[in-house]
Structure formats: C-alpha cells, structure tokens
Structure 1
C-alpha cells in the first residue's frame, strides 16, 4: 500500500502542476534567502571586520524574520492548494479510503515537495553564495578574496536551512491531518465551491479598523525620541496591520454595495458579472487584498530604508568623522599640553598636518520652545540615548566671527531651535555646520543628531555648563585634539601614536579615532544593513507575487463555471474579457493606495529610528521612497497583467 500512496501523491502533483510549481518555487526562494543570511552570519571572512558582530546580528534577525514569513506564506499557499484539491480528497473517502490513508498521501506529497525544494534550493544557494558574498564585500569597499576558504558555501548553514524547512513542512502535515479528521466526504466536496460571506457587524469592524490605523499613524506622527521610536515601531506596525485587515473588509463591501445600488451601472452585462463575482467572495477578496497591501508596504519601507541608509553613507561619514584623527583627553591639564604632545609624535613620525583643539561635554536639557533649561529628573536609569542633549563646546582658537554673540548654535534638526538659555544672559547666533570653520565632531553615530552650542569665552562656557551640570549624568568636559595629516593615509600611524600616547599617559585615559578605519567599519555595518534589506525585500516581494497569483488562480477556478454559463447564454469572449478587466480593476489597486498611505505616515517614526544610525537626511529618504514606489508600481502592473492572463486562460479555456 505504501507504493500506492506514493503514486497517488506524485500523480496529484503532476496533474495539479499549475498549483504546485509556484509552491515549489516559493519554497526554493525562501531556502535560498534564509541560507544566504545564515551563511553570511557564520562566514569566517566576515569575522575579520570590526562590524562583524553587528552584521552577524542583522543576518540572524533577517533569517528569523524570513523563517516566520516562510512559514506563513508556505502554509497559506498549501492551504490554497488543498482547498482546490478538496473534491479529490472527498472522492478518495467515498471510494473507501480512511482518513489515515489520506494522511499517508499528504505525507508522501509533502515529502516529495520537501526533497525537491531542498535539493534545488541547496544547489542554488551553494552556487550563488560566493557571488553574493563578493557583492557584499564590494559594497564594503573591501578587497578580501571570497575564494580564500573554497568555492562552495559551508555545509552547516545549508543543513540548518534544511532543518528549518523540515519543521515548516511538519507543521503543514500536522495541520492538514488535523483538518482532514474533522471533515466528512461531503465537507471535502463542498469546500472548494464554498462561497465567502460579507463580514458580520461591518460598521463596528470598520470603526475598529480605522481606530487601529489611526492609532498607528498617531504613534508615528508624535514619537520624537529615536529610542522611543524603536520601542513603539512594532506596536504601530501591529496596529496598522490589524486595522488594514478590518478596514479592507468594510471598504470592499461598501464599494460593492454602492455599485450594486447604482442600477445604471450594475445592470449591464459585463458589470453585473464583475460585481456579482466579487460579492460572492467578498471576505476572501478583502483579506487577500489586505495581505497584498501589508506586504507591499513592507517591500516599500524595507527597500527605502536600505537604499537611503546606504546612499547616505558618505554623508554620514563626513558628518561624524570630520578630520583624519580625533583624540580626547581628561580636562585636568591645559589643552595645549595635549596638543604639543600630538605635534611631537607627528614630528617623530615625519608627519605634518593641521590641528584643531576644543573642550566639549554632553549635557541633558529640557526645552520650552527655543529656550533650554537644566534637566531635572530622579530617574537614574535614563541614559544619553533616551533624553534630549546638547553638545557644549569651548573653541578658544576659533576664527569664526561671533559678531558680539556669546555662542553659536549649530542646528542639526530643523524642528529644534536654541535662542535662549534659561537663567543666563547669553546671546546665541544660529549657524549651519558647513559654515563653521572648526571641525567639531561627535564620533558616536547615535549622537550625530545632537545640537551644538559653541562658545569662545571660557568664562561664559564655564557658566553654561555649570548651569546644566547634573550629578546623575556625565563626567564633565574633555579636551579634544582633532587633526588632519598631509599626504596619503598611513594605516600604521594610529598604532604608532597609540603606543607613544600610552607611554606618556599611562595613568590617564584617552580615546583615539582613526577616521579612515572607522569609516571602513561604518561602511561594513551599513552594507550589511543594505544587504539584509534587499534580502528581506525580496522575501516580501515574492510573497506579494504569490498572493496575487493565487488570488487570480483561485478566483479563476471559482469563476470558470459561471463564465461558462454566461457564455452559453450569449456572452462573447470579448465581453467576458471586458468583464474580467472590470472585476480585477474595481478593487485590485486598492492595496497600492493603502501601501502608499502607510508608507507616507511611516516616514516620521522610521526617520527617527534611522537617526540612531546617524541618518538625518529626511529629503534623501523621501526621494528613495518615491523612487521605490514608482518602481514598485511598474512591478505591480506587470505582475497584475501576467496573473490576469492566467485568470483569462482558466475561465475562457
């Protein structure tokens, strides 16, 4: 009997290849994407980079998200396949099979699909991995030889990916077996032809959906702190997803009812067929369209974030690392003492350059419009990333014309202003960063969005920091020595200077930043984020395509008999195609409208989130968003036309 179940399973796959081939293709696609993330995460070549830990974490997160999405997508597609094969399952039961025999057929079917998918996916993964890794190193501007450890990918990630897929297929088998136990032969026969009903309590459901979407939008529009944005982002996403599913049901139902009430529109041959077909399965259509809207939003947001972050890399590097090197020392000695030591070491190493010195400290503030005052809090758990801070700087050697003002305000966020300091009679002048001659830099990229107040008079500077100093935050001012070195970059200069400084300041702390090395590490991290974004975007994209394809295929199979009857009653193929186009066009492009709206309202919270990675260029993000959306519209139209052809071929064959 075992061979019989195997033959029945294989025969079913062969006869329904239109259903199974996209399923296998989707599974293979997810196998390749998950394997790429796992392979990059564990590759020893990646571990040579400073940002290896971050890249590894990103790839791990990407593999987890893809695995969850693979489970959802593959499960949804397999349910669709079994629904359209339900009459076949019911027939087996009528011919004398027991439900345990059906389970054996499902087992052989899934085993065959699993082996085919894993073998094809593993081969593709092994072949393209080194090419993908070479592309990643190219983005990182690294000349590492990707073939250093051989031409093929490691075996461990391939095995882990196969095990992940095995777990997913076991879930499919268990779910289908449980479902078959609760079904009678008649239930199986009726499942494929079962119509969908409109949602119950549509008004309440619509109000609930609008409230959820509104709450998600409100979180995005009102969240100001980047850390808060990170914490609230997923809550906003969940609210918008729930709201979209709820609202779509009502919107689709409402549109169809309005069209049905319009007698001049509804009682036309092609319109009657199109609207009645959508009413017949309104709930299913709404849920599928909502899924497409959510997936489309994910594609747009993920790709936009990845592109904008990578394209802004040079801008971020120049903003964070404004000189070749930066040294920071304690403020217990005069700053010229440290400047002279640096000059001595440069001379000993036959180097010449330009040096800038300044004192600085980060201090928390409260804001009241354009006025700042001392931050008062009893919450000792707060850190610099959770509170509003200002970078106070003393630049005694500045060549900038203060024009009678006590401080220069360097604005980094157009929504923030500093014109007055509470309790101090200080005149503040606003200036752009690029117009201030001294290269003041904050080498922590998470603080790159911090406003700067630059003073020239030490007494005024001391007054200001004393007015804002707190016992619970900060250690006071530090001395900074920034310098550029003439000639080509010397990768060994940092090590030489480090050793010399360590000997001179054995009892004191100091920090040393080499901008070229730091830029390279920063580029590695951003390249990793970019690659993860592309991989996740592809995962969401293939899920979107499958959702559209199976929607068209399902509706084509359901409508075949209806269109056959209509054609027997006199409807021509031309009229049928016209009706089909109207039916598809009535609601099929609603997901694009929702996706664009969600993406627009996501701009505030995502840009706040990206500020943690030092991306403050909102205009660049919007430009990337528009570009990605235009490209996605073109892709969506092509996919729609191709799947519409599949629908036509089914109902008009």
Structure 2
C-alpha cells in the first residue's frame, strides 16, 4: 500500500510540474541563500577583516530576514498550489480514498519537495560559496586568498529551519483537506462569488494610513524623529496598501460601473466586470506585489548609492586626513595649542608629506531642551523625548569661522561684550537666553544654512557665539551644576580640534598617521585626547557599506524572486478561473479577438497597478530616505537619485519581462 502512495505522489508532482517546478526552483534558491548567509557569517576568514564585528552583525541580520521571508514565501506559494489541486484531490476522495489516505499522499509529496529543495539548495550553496565569498571580498577591497570551506553549522541550521517550514506547509494542506467536503474539493477554486460590497470605511482607513505615512515621510526634518518614525511610516504604508487594494479598488470600479457612458461599451464592460469580481480574491496578492516591489526599489537603490558614494561618506565623516581632538574639564589649556599644532605640522613634514590645509578651533556642546528663551539641561527634572533634544554648541566667532570655511567673516559680526549671537537653522525669536539661572542678552540672530556643519547633529541645533569670557562663565556654570538625577556627570568637556590635510599615497598617509599618533602619545597630557585618520578608517567604511551593499543585493534578489513567483502563481490561478468565463463570453456573441483583447487589457491594468503604486510610495518616501542617507554620511542627493532611477528602470524591465512570460502561460491555459 505504501508503494501506491509513493507512486501517486511521484505521478502528482510530475503531472503538476507547471506548478511544482517554479516552486522547487524558488525553494532551492531560497535555501541556498540562507546557507550562504550562515556560511559567510561563520567563515573563519571573516575574523581577519577590519570591522569584522560590523560585518558579522549585518550578515546575522540577513540570516534572520531571509528565514522570516522564506517562511512567508513558501507558505504563500504553497497556498496557490493546494488551491489549484483541490479538484484533483476531490476526485481521489470521490473514487474512494479516505482523507487519511490522501494525507499520506500529500505527506509523500511534501517530503519529496522538501528533500529536493533542501538538498538542492545546500548543494548549490556549497558549490557557489567560494565564489560568493570572493565577490564579497572584492566589494570590501579585501585582498586575501579564499579557501574552500563547508559550513557544518550552516547545513544543520538550514535543514532544521526549512524542515520545520515544510512540515508547517503539510499541516496547513492537511487542515485544508480535513475542513473541506468532497463537493467543495471538486469545485476547487471555482466557487461562485457574490458581488463584493463597497467597504467605504476600509477604503477611508487605507487612504488615511497612506496620507499619514506620506505626511511623516515628507515633513519629518529632525534626524532623531526620522529614526523613530521611519518604521511607523513603513508599517502605515503596508497596512494602507492592503486596505486600499482590498476596498479602494472595488469602490473605484463600482464608480466606473455607475458611469453608463463608460461602462456600456464593449471595450470596458467585460473588463470592469471582470476586475470587479477579481479584486476581492486577488487584492492581497496585488498588495503583496506592490509592497515587495517598493522594498526592492528602496533597498537596492539605498545600498547601491551608499556603496557607490563611500568616498563621499568617508569625506563627510572625516573632512581632514587627520583630526586630533583634545578634551579637557577646564577651559584653561593644559597644553599650548599653538605649540601642539606646530608639533603635528613638524611631524607631518618630517614624514615627507606636504600640508595642503589645516584648521584649529575650540568649543563645548551641551544637549538641552529649549522652551522659549529657557535652555534647560537634560538633568531628569524636565520631561523630554529624544526628538526634543537640541544640541547647543558654545563657540567663539574665530573658531566657528575656522570650523566651516563656507562661512563668510563679513556676514558674521562679533557680538557685543557680555552678549551672544545665535546661529540656528530654525529661527530664534527671543531677545535673551536663560541657562543655569543666568540671563544673557541676544545681540543678533542669524539663519545657519551651511551644508558642511559637523556640529548640528540634530535639526534645530543652535550655535551660541560669544567672546571667551562669556563662554568661560557658561562653562563654569554647567560644571557647577553637578550631577544628573541618575548620578551621571552633566559636565560637557571643552574640546579643541586640530586637523590637517596632506598629500601622499595610502601607505604614506597611514605611516604619517602612525608617526603622529606616537608623537602625541609621547606628550605629558593628563586630559582625554585621541587622533583619527581618514585613511585608517577607510577599510572599516568599505566593510560597513560593502556589507550593506552585499546584503541589499542578496535581499533585493530574494524579494524580486518572491515577487516574480507571486505574479506567476497569480496568473496561473487566474488562468484556470477565467477559462470558463472565456468560453461564456464567446457564446454570448463576442468574437474571439474581442474577448482576448478584453482579457489582455484587464490583465495589463491589474498587472501594472502594483508597479505604479510602488513608484508613488517610493516618490513619497524620497525625503525621508534622503535624510536617512544623510545620517549615514551620504549627502550626495544626485547620486542617490541616479541610483534610484536606474533601479526603477531595471526593475520595470524585469517586471515587464515577467508580465510577458506569465501572460503567455495564462493564454495557454485559457485557450484550452
């Protein structure tokens, strides 16, 4: 008897190869991607890469994301297959097979599919593992030989995770068969549907969700708010898309049907009617395609632009080749700044390097909340969220001019003695500032528009420009304020920065930075100080952004594959559903050419609707994405726009190709 179940399982898979072959291929690819991520994460050679901790964190995140989406994807495609096989299973039931016998056949089929997908995926992952690792090394600029390595942990985790997923799909299929009677199974997916009701509240809720998400994306300026609200906006877009496709599409189609001039036209009548009944059962599929398309466009365009602009990001984070920062608990210098500057300059020249630029400036910065003219420290006495924090930088006019060469001295007057000037991106309309119990008159206020601002981490941040005596008084006041309510120190260190730009190859710059580091260590400084080198940190940048680029491509390919599979199974499923409608439309008098044109028009509208909606989502998200990239040091907006446009064009071409291929499969089914 067991041989019978085995033969039936093999025959069923072979006879339904049009459904199972894409399912098996996508399963193999998903398993291979999961194994490769674990392989990269656990590879011994990764420990030798600079910034390996960041790369390991990125790859670990990739493992988790692939596992989650693999589960969702396999369940989704499995539901299409079981829906189209219900009639076949119903025949078995009518012919005398009990549901427990059918369960055994389905168990054998699931076992075959799982073994082929897992074994094929693991073997493919092992075969391509060395090539993928070489590609990653190339992206990171890491010159190292790659040895062949089989990740035993990867094999074990892959079998465990995907074995569990396929067991869950079997349980789902058995539940579907158990709950259905033989007549329902024989009718399969061809159950007559009532006209869908117009769900006005759902449509309004969908529009509201998208409107709020778009408003957040377009209007949010504060970087801290961008971080906290980004995922909220994403969640609202996903919910709004599903609600809008489910209810809004039906409402629009019913409005078109009420327009008699439009509706009672042979080009529109069948198309509107067909889409009206189609939308109820396919809204979730179309919404899924739209959300996945948006994810592919955003993820790939962001990671590509970050990797392509890594030099810009490095320069934005490190404007100078070396930067020496001295932090002190007093404004009285423990070292002579000019002497320190000269010592660094002499060391650089002793290494044979030519200094092309330099700067020296001092300041101290306190994070506060500003209410009117009151500058309140974050000492726990005031309720304040992260988005209400303001970075207040106290600095002299000379230091501000030195810190940002884009500022013009003629446009920056010296404040009167005892007074302060306020520079801010958001207008400051008060005549005084009050902090630590003291009040200081505001001499003049200015709008600060510089793109090179290294201090204004938060939008709304403020420069308080004053002479040294006023700054010293403020510094002493905040020092006397003592401790925060949680016991931490409130003291903001007085910082002096000395920066140099000099020529040379990477090796020469690294050697010079090392010499500077040794020269600074030889001093008798009792305060906190450290030296940063742009070239020294370059490898860490390439590892971080190269890792994100690699993960973005990996996940982009996976999401694209999921999108293609949903489109394919949607077309196949609709082909079987529409075959009877196709015959009826010809019987009532429409020509074969008219019927075919109607169906093609209907498919084309439905097919490209998610792509248009995805493009709208991306356009609305652009301001927020731009600010997120700015927080990751990418301020090259034209580069991101170029990457986004190219990504959209390539994705559209692939989408259209999938449309052509799946349309042919649809026509083949319907024409029978």
Output the TM-score relative to the length of structure 2.
0.85
Q: Which residue of 2 aligns with 1:402?
A: 409
Matches of 2:373 and 2:161, distance apart in 1: 54
1:487 maps to which of 504, 509, 516:
504
Matches of 2:217 and 2:161, distance apart in 1: 34
1:125-164 matches, cutoff 5 A: 125-145=125-145, 147=146, 150-164=147-161
Per-residue CA shift, 1:443-487, capped at 9, x if unaligned?
xxx949896859696446547767988765552321222123443
- Contact 1:5–1:104 (CA under 8 A) maintained in structure 2: yes
1:343, CA displacement in angstroms? 4.3
Which is worse superposed, 499-508 or 400-409? 400-409
2:281 maps to which of 264, 269, 284:
284
- Contact 1:87–1:190 (CA under 8 A) maintained in structure 2: yes
Q: Which residue of 2 aligns with 1:310?
A: 307
- Contact 2:226–2:627 (CA under 8 A) maintained in structure 1: yes
Aligned with 1:480: secondary structure? Answer: strand
Q: Which residue of 2 aligns with 1:255?
A: 252
Distance 1:304 1:463, change over 3 A: farther
Q: Which residue of 1 aligns with 2:437?
A: none
Give the CA RMSD over aligned residues: 3.6
Per-residue CA shift, 1:330-386, capped at 9, x if unaligned?
343232243244346546656663653221333335569xx9873444448989897
1:230, CA displacement in angstroms? 2.5
1:14-413 matches, cutoff 5 A: 14-145=14-145, 147=146, 150-197=147-194, 199-200=196-197, 202-269=199-266, 271-331=268-328, 332-333=333-334, 334-343=336-345, 345-346=347-348, 353=355, 355-364=358-367, 374-379=375-380, 387-394=389-396, 395=398, 398=402, 402-403=409-410, 405-406=412-413
Q: Which residue of 2 aligns with 1:576?
A: 595
Q: Which residue of 2 aligns with 1:437?
A: none
1:162, CA displacement in angstroms? 3.1
Q: Which residue of 1 aligns with 2:495?
A: 478
Distance 1:86 1:486, change over 3 A: closer
1:170, CA displacement in angstroms? 1.2
1:169, CA displacement in angstroms? 0.6
- Contact 1:24–1:117 (CA under 8 A) maintained in structure 2: yes
Distance 1:432 1:271, change over 3 A: closer
1:252, CA displacement in angstroms? 2.3
Distance 1:428 1:457, change over 3 A: farther
Q: Which residue of 1 aligns with 2:443?
A: 425
1:598, CA displacement in angstroms? 1.7
Distance 1:379 1:640, change over 3 A: farther
1:556, CA displacement in angstroms? 0.5
Matches of 2:427 and 2:304, distance apart in 1: 30
Matches of 1:449 and 1:515, distance apart in 2: 26
Matches of 1:143 and 1:647, distance apart in 2: 49
Aligned with 1:504: secondary structure? Answer: coil
1:11, CA displacement in angstroms? 0.8
Matches of 1:617 and 1:172, distance apart in 2: 46
Matches of 1:451 and 1:619, distance apart in 2: 26
- Contact 1:228–1:386 (CA under 8 A) maintained in structure 2: no
Matches of 2:615 and 2:362, distance apart in 1: 47
Matches of 2:76 and 2:512, distance apart in 1: 58
Per-residue CA shift, 1:111-134, capped at 9, x if unaligned?
111121123222322233333332
2:662 maps to which of 643, 650, 653:
643
Q: Which residue of 2 aligns with 1:516?
A: 535
Distance 1:527 1:418, change over 3 A: farther
Matches of 1:430 and 1:475, distance apart in 2: 23
- Contact 2:423–2:447 (CA under 8 A) maintained in structure 1: no
1:526 maps to which of 497, 521, 545:
545
1:13, CA displacement in angstroms? 0.8
Distance 1:501 1:450, change over 3 A: farther
Matches of 2:231 and 2:445, distance apart in 1: 43
Number of residue pairs aligned between Structure 1 and Structure 2: 639
1:522, CA displacement in angstroms? 1.3
Aligned with 1:224: secondary structure? Answer: coil
Aligned with 2:497: secondary structure? Answer: strand
Matches of 1:535 and 1:648, distance apart in 2: 33
Distance 1:2 1:277, change over 3 A: same
Aligned with 2:136: secondary structure? Answer: helix
Instruction: Give 5+ residue unaligned stretches, structure 2.
Output: 434-440, 485-489
- Contact 2:196–2:276 (CA under 8 A) maintained in structure 1: no
Output the TM-score relative to the length of structure 1.
0.87
1:182, CA displacement in angstroms? 1.7
Distance 1:216 1:484, change over 3 A: closer
Matches of 1:385 and 1:262, distance apart in 2: 49
Q: Which residue of 1 aligns with 2:4?
A: 4
1:104, CA displacement in angstroms? 1.5
